[in-house]
Homo-oligomer: A and B are copies of this chain.
Amino acid sequence: MTFIPERMTPLKARRLGLDTQQELTIYLRADSAVCKSEGFAALSRVLVRTESQHIIATLNIITSELLRPGEIGLSESAWQRLGVKDGDSIWASHPTPVASISNIRAKVYGHSLTQDQYSEIIEDIVAGRYADVHLAAFITACGNDNMNDQEITYLTEAMVNSGSKISWDLPLVLDKHCVGGLPGNRTTPIVVSILAASGLTVPKTSSRAITSPAGTADTMEALTNVSLSLDEMKKVVCEHGGCLAWGGSVRLSPADDLLIKVERVLDIDSEGQLIASVLSKKIAAGATHVLIDMPVGPTAKVRSQAAADKLAASFREVAKSLGLTIDIIFSDGRQPVGYGIGPALEARDIMAVLQNNANAPADLRERSITVAGAMLEMATDLPKGEGINQAKQLIDSGQAWEKFRHICEAQGGMREPPIAPYRFELIAHQHGWLSSVDNRRLSQVAKLAGAPADLAAGVEIHVKLGEEVHPNTPLITIHAESAGELNYAVEYLEAYPETVQICADKEQLNERVTD
C-alpha cells in the first residue's frame, strides 16, 4: 500500500522525553482526527512518517492535556530513529503487516526456518519494526531447544550481519565467554592479562550485567574507564595486545541487545538464542578462536552435565559452520567464585590474584589459570598441559599484573575500587561445615543491595563450600551504598534462609558437597 502524505493533514512532532527502550512508541490524543479517521486505538501499530524517514510504532492514547490538538508525541526511541525536531511535520497511517511475523508463526507451528527467514526477522527487529510483544513471541517460539543447529547458525549469521564488524587484520584473535549463572566468576581480566603478557592478541569486549549482579564491564569500571571508541580500543590493543572494554559503544550484533532486554523481563531461556547471542558478538568483534567456560551446578545456568554436553555439542557444531575455532571447558558451578559478588568486590579479588596476595581467592586463581591455559594451547602449539604451566608462570612472575596495569593505564588510568558505607553480616549460630550455597539467591541479594549500578554494592563471602564454620563468625557480608538497599537485601536473605546452609555433621557434608 502506497502512502500519500499529500492527502493527509500532518501532525506536529513533540518530544515527550519518555524512555520506552527499544519499543518505538507514539502518543496521540483520543480526540485527534487521525485516531478517528484511521480507527486507531491504544496498542495499534502505526506507520509514522516524516518527509524522509518512517517507522512502525506502538500507539498510546492520551486522554489528558499532555499534547495540544494536532500534536503527535514521540518516545525517545521513536524520536531518535526519526531524527526529527519539535514541530516537524509527521504523518500517521496504517502500516502494512510486518511480513516476517509470519516466520515466527511458522516457528510456533514447529517448522524449521530458513536462512532467509531468520535474516528477515533480524532485519525487521533491528529496523525497529517489532513491538516488544513480537520480540517476546520470537524468544518464546525459539525457547527451550526448539531450534536445530542449522537454524542457530542462520540466526547467528543474521545477527552478525545486523551490525558492525571489527576487522583486526590478524590471523589469530582470541576471545572467551563464560555461560553465566555463577556469581563472582570474574576470570576474564586475569585471563586477558595472562594471554596479552604471553604476546597473544585478546581484544576483549564485555557486556554489562543483564540479570546478574555484575558483568565484566561493570567490574572493570570499578578499576578503569571501559567506554572506548573503536579507534581507542584498537590503539590499546595495538600497544598492549589486549583490552578490557565495554562492548556497548561499538555496535556489534545490535539485534542481540534488543532481544536481551526483553529476555530479561521475560526470564525465559532459549539455548539457540544463547548460542547465537554469544557467537554473534564474538564473530562481530573479529575473534577467530573462542573459549567457552561453562560452569555446571544445580543453581548455575547449566544445571547438569547432560545439559552441558548437549549445549556444548550445539556450540561446537554452530562454531564449525561459521568457521570459528572453539574450545569448551566445564567447570564447577556449585558455588560462587572468589570472595566478592558485585563490581568493586570482584575487582578486589582480581587484583589480589594478579598481585599474588596471600589472601587471594584460590578458586579464582585456579580457574583463571585453567581458562588461560586452554586458550594458550588452542592458540599456539604448546603440548597438552603446558598451557597451564605457562599461565601460572605469567601470574607468579608478576607479568600478568604488569600487563593488567598497562591496559588499565592505556584505557584512561587505574583507580581504586570504591568501598560501600552500609554493611550487614550474616552470622553463623551453630558449629558445622558449609554445605550449600544458592547462587541464584545470592545474586538476588547482591542485586537488591544495589549491584551492579552501585559499583561498591554486593556480597562478600567468607566461607567456601566444605569449610568449617564456627558459631558467631560471619558467613557473608552484604555491602550497599544506601540504607534502603541494604534493608531490601537483608529482608530477602531473611526470607530465604536456605540461601547459605550449614551442616552440623561432617560425614553428611561430604555426600552433599560432592554430589
Enumerate chain A interface residues (CB-CB to B < 8 A): 1-2, 4, 7-8, 15-21, 27, 30, 36-39, 42-43, 45, 58, 60-66, 75-76, 93-94, 97, 101, 104-105, 108-110, 131-137, 139-141, 143-144, 261-262, 264-269, 447-448, 450, 453-454, 482-485, 487-488, 491-492, 495
Contact = CB atoms under 8 A, between A and B. Distances in A.
Contacts of A491: 1-2, 4
* This protein's copies in its complex: 2
A412 to B, nearest CB: 24
Given A2-B495, A134-B266, 7 more contacts: A15-B64, A18-B27, A18-B60, A109-B143, A133-B266, A137-B137, A140-B141
Contact of A108 (B65, B110, B140, B483): B140
A487 B1 CA distance: 10
A453 B37 CA distance: 9
Given A144-B109, A488-B93, A491-B2, A265 B448 contact: no
Given A2-B491, A132-B133, A262-B133, A17 B144 contact: no
A15 B36 CA distance: 24
Contacts of A453: 36, 39
A36 B19 CA distance: 16
By DSSP majority rule, is chain A's interface helix, strand, loop, or mixed? mixed
A139 B104 CA distance: 13
A454 B487 CA distance: 55
A131 B135 CA distance: 13
A242 to B, nearest CB: 30
The residue among A108, A140, A485 with the most chain B CB atoms within 10 A of its own CB is A140
Nearest to A141: B140
A104 B141 CA distance: 12
Contact of A94 (B2, B36, B448): B448
Contact of A266 (B16, B65, B137): B137
A143 B143 contact: no
Contact of A132 (B21, B132, B141): B132
A19 B37 CA distance: 19
A43 B21 contact: yes
Nearest to A39: B453
Contacts of A267: 97, 101, 105
Contacts of A484: 7-8, 37-38
The residue among A18, A63, A135 with the most chain B CB atoms within 10 A of its own CB is A18
A450 B40 CA distance: 10
A75 B61 CA distance: 10
